[in-house]
Structure 1
């Protein structure tokens, strides 16, 4: 029984500890081949999901710059440097560092925005990249210019402080010659540029911005309209104007006009995209094609104007404007719109970081998702299990000791034959053997029977045959001792029955409540995907596991202990019959009482 309890404790420790739950081989593989650099103790998983469960994209997308948002819910800022200089991004193979840069990193408020260049993105796939952190001696790892491919000729975050000219993040340095009129500290991504009908940004012409006739071009950006009235320019360069007309997105190429069917909502961020491939034009709203036309772009030269234009003042905000000298695929436009918008459905950050020394086992991940109510249920089940294990150990020792003492007593009892006297007065019994016999339930029954016989011998005379009533009275006294012994065996066994019957139901209650909370949170967030649902349900199931872990060992132990208790009870009933019969026979044959026999011997 002791080995069984130890085995169950080892099994429970395996459930509670991810390091034990993993095989040593798997753990070694996960930390040697899978871990990029031992100097970085932490990493968190980033899932890029273009499958139907995520962004639901199709076709080849290629190298894409994706936004990764970190916050206190999915990143431990206290384990990283205050400025995020220790952050590194590694590709799916666990070996290849990816170019990235940080637009915003606020450790005090627990929020950060990273731009990561992810190679070879395709629709209908899930891939995992990693953000490593925690190396206190690391130097800054951002590669701002390397984040963008050579086809990106300009990218403006508008993340500069007030009064500073807007900078281009690419290696082309197509910086604005002036600063934005105003700043919104909380744009769609980080800081955003605010315009109030004047003070548009001017980006001077440069060789990298040269666009001959028929050249491809892609323009993307986020806009929040401050008012719907009038025609407002967002981007202007020569004959190309992209803007809003009465709140409706449009693109003007010379005399050709493309216009969407519906207006954007004032005060809400909207992704606007324009693609020219040399043969046709396409206008995108929130990643979805809204208008199309045929033709090739004329030559574009001169400065670029953002946030307004001649006769088209803009009132609102701009954020994350990018210009490319290639026709980006529609899947990329949709991917970036969905990755950068408020309702991100393509980039998911794991809520639980992995530590190099502890691995990243499933149990560690699931335990990290356990909510307060489930933690309480699991704790309650573990308390019941600890109490049940205590009862198991105590009862096992008591029953084993009683069975051993019964064997020693029965051996002495048989050696007395018909001369039954108290074991304390039997010659040849040493103190150690007597101490063992006193622990025997049969010995206590025996001593009760001897005491009852002596009482009746003293009342009726040494050679007076006991009446039937006297024999029954003796039997009743011994039976009372049998009941007392059985109560000792059964005491606290009710805890095992509570663990058996109540543990699974308590665990099930925790699971149901955990699943309910998970679905309630998903409903409130409006993010229905497997990454949002699965962790909560897996954590809720831990409560059921705890309930079963409480009930299963209790069930086995209860059946085992109950069978041994039944055997001892049967042994006591048989012994009572033998004892009363022998005492009655000894009295009827006129044998001296135990006291008389001792006096005669003296």
Structure 2
């Protein structure tokens, strides 16, 4: 029987050890996770309260751009779904963009920021975007003391010659690049274009681009042109962008012919046009780009190659038109005409023949030959245009596709936003607003719950320490109790130093630890009852009635020890059951006060209701904060108490069994055996 109990105790100790090891493993894993995540918590500047990670995904899981991209301005669209406008300054001047290393500030500028409509358009210069990879940018905001740091000129590289956002009203479009190539005519605004506002072209109101030195196009040079377009109707031979040299007849035209985009290059009087592709539907936005490089001109529609023509660009230094053809205002070359008066006075003037026909002119006085006929003008493009950009280099195909995806309606697969992070969690942000809205009754309830939480934690710490000490002391006691051979009272003789046992010596340290054991205290009761029944010099024999009486005395000790183990546990049960109800009481009272205040003021406003309701719910959160730890602690302590209670009951049975064995009437007297041996 004793071996069965030993095996049971061994199994229980093994289970407890396994649970302890698993708990320690989880704690170490949590600590390791915190350590690994610590570098990600670095903050570029603590004066900004909020930040958000923006991921630019050019990999196969995102935009799937495999061609080179490089440094490019990225359009960041902010709205209520990804940005807290209420936490930023009204004009957005506290916006800051930092590279993925969270150390390097990035250049940016704001095209539009409307805190009332919760809409913002921001261009950020992201360096060295790699194809097929992800890049990260941090957006910081929430600093009321910040000053504006936007810099449109630094957002674009020097190779960008012209950038029109078309967000002006009543004034010519302003160039956002460093070259300041502002438009020379006022365009008609188009509300709700694909990126903020655009320009609306009717075919009769083209936007004039200046003939600035920076816009001079060398013969055979590289060139990139891009814009978002939305044709209003199907037009034959409509010029979207036109630039011609009136003296030479050379020119460059980008347009649409019955909805099909084309590029036409004229060199030395010879016009070359790209082949026609699939037309685009009227009323739909499309990104159109033209890239010229190394004798090849390519049209790119929505980021994909559309058409091309083998031609080199001519030298051009004239004005250009958006939505019109320059041939409508000037001929490719003037037509030579004779002066009538000069012809009458000239001696070389031909004389009329008798039949009335003109006589041939003299060989050395021939009339001037006429120049080539004027280039027929194309119709002006009718529709909307947005985000016009011109560069003096050939942009890589990956960058054009990046712009078509990142600026269009499918930007979600390229750009994603993470949740907001805050510098402080309890003293700033939403929680600070909630705490400021808590009423007096709520603070009273929260104060009571704080006291309950403190008491429950004190009880849990006290009980956990006591139960652990009991388990260790019981283990020491049972080790020496099982070594007792013939006298159950030998561990209770009261020696301060050492007590002889069957298997060795009981040290003073073990004796001191053993005295605090609950099993020892029960054993002490049994040993005292045994000594009380033995007379000096008589054989130690106990009758059945005596054993039953001693068992009753042991049971009384068991009850006291179980009461001692369960001491103060009622505090945890009160915290578990009473905490949520107190929190609910505070919430109900807070909601009542909030609605009473609304009824008194007569102003039904969500912004007025929300803080009061949120503050009222703080009481419920506090109640749960009291109950949940108490519940976990209570269940843990109860399991420990059950184990110790089982040990006590097993020990009583073992003690009674040994007592019946050692002190039965038919057991030989160990004293007589010793005397006979001597």
TM range (shorter): 0.5 to 0.7
2:315 is equivalent to residue 299 of structure 1: yes
Match of 1:177 in 2: 184
Match among 557, 560, 567 for residue 647 of structure 2: 567
Tell me how far 1:112 sits from its aligned partner.
1.9
CA displacement 1:81-120 (0-9 Å, x = unmatched): 2212222333455544332211112233333222122333
Give the alignment partner of residue 120 of structure 2, picking from 112, 115, 126. Answer: 112
Query: Does the 8 Å CA contact 1:214/1:299 hold for their aligned counterparts?
Result: yes
Change (3 A) 1:61 1:582: closer
**Partner Cα separation in structure 2 for residue 188 and residue 327 of structure 1:** 25
- 1:338 alignment partner in structure 2: 405
Q: Is the 8 A contact 1:68 1:347 kept in 2?
A: no
Q: 1:90 aligns with which of 90, 98, 104?
A: 98
Partner residue of 1:138? 146
Matches within 5 A, 1:447-596: 563-574=643-654
In the other structure, the counterpart of 1:253 is 265
Per-residue displacement from partner, 1:505-564 (whole Å, max 9, x unpaired)?
xxxxxxxxxxxxxxxxxxxxxxxxxxxxxxxxxxxxxxxxxxxx9999999878765543
Cα deviation digits, residues 204-232 of structure 1 (max 9, x gap) = 32222222332221110111233335443
1:512 counterpart residue number: none
Whether the 8 Å CA contact 2:163–2:176 is kept in 1: the answer is yes
Q: Which has the larger radius of gyration?
A: 2
Residue 227 of structure 2 corresponds to residue 221 of structure 1: yes
TM-superposed CA distance for 1:283, in Å, is 0.5
The 5 Å alignment of 1:366-405 reads none
> Which 5+ residue runs of structure 1 have no aligned equivalent?
359-386, 416-436, 448-466, 496-548, 586-602
Matched, 1:274 2:290: yes
Shift of 1:272: 0.5
Aligned mates of 1:330, 1:210 — CA distance in 2: 24
Aligned to 2:253: 241
Q: Which residue of 2 aligns with 1:210?
A: 216
> 1:202·1:306 contact (CA, 8 Å) conserved in 2?
yes
User: Displacement, 1:263?
Assistant: 2.4
* Secondary structure of the corresponding residue to residue 567 of structure 1: helix
Matched position secondary structure for 2:220: coil
* 48, 59, 67: which one aligns with 2:56: 48
| Root mean square deviation, CA, Å | 5.4
Mapped to 1, the partners of 2:303 and 2:382 lie a distance apart of 23
CA distance in 2, matches of 1:234, 1:159: 19
What is the alpha-carbon distance in structure 2 between the residues aligned to residue 237 and residue 124 of structure 1?
37
**Whole-Å separation in 1 of the counterparts to 2:656 and 2:644:** 18
| Cα distance in 2 between the residues matched to 1:551 and 1:259 | 77
Point out where structure 2 has 5 or more consecutive residues left out of the alignment.
1-15, 245-250, 326-376, 426-455, 478-487, 494-514, 526-542, 573-628, 666-678
- Give the 3 Å change call, closer, same or farther, for CA 398–145 of structure 1 in structure 2: closer
Quote the Cα distance in structure 1 between the aligned partners of 2:663 and 2:190. 105
For normalisation by structure 1, the TM-score amounts to 0.60
- CA offset digits 1:184-204 (Å, max 9, x no partner): 23x222222233454332223
Q: How many angstroms does 1:305 deviate by?
A: 2.0
1:167 paired residue among 170, 174, 188: 174
In structure 2, the CA distance between the partners of 1:440 and 1:335, relative to structure 1 (3 Å rule), is closer
Q: Which residue of 1 aligns with 2:386?
A: 319
Q: Distance in 2 between matches of 1:117 and 1:188?
A: 20
Cα distance between partner residues in 2 of 1:402 and 1:12: 23
How many residue pairs align between the two structures? 456
CA pair 487-257 structure 1, distance change in 2 beyond 3 A: farther
Distance 2:458 2:202 in 1: 73
Name the structure, 1 or 2, with higher relative contact order (CA <8 Å, separation 6+). 1
State the distance in 2 between where 1:17 and 1:71 align: 36
Residues 402, 440 of structure 1: 8 Å contact kept: no
Whole-Å Cα distance in 2 between the matches of residues 279 and 84 of structure 1?
A: 45
CA separation of 1:472/1:199 partners in 2, compared to 1, >3 Å: closer, same or farther? farther
Deviations 1:451-489 (A, max 9, x none): xxxxxxxxxxxxxxxx99x99999999999999999999
1:67 aligns with 2:147: no
Q: 3-state DSSP class of the match of 2:69?
A: strand
**1:345 to partner: Cα distance:** 6.0
TM-score (norm 2): 0.54
SS in 1 for 2:647: helix
Encode CA deviations 1:547-602: one digit per residue, 9 max, x unaligned: xx9999999878765543331221243456689999999xxxxxxxxxxxxxxxxx
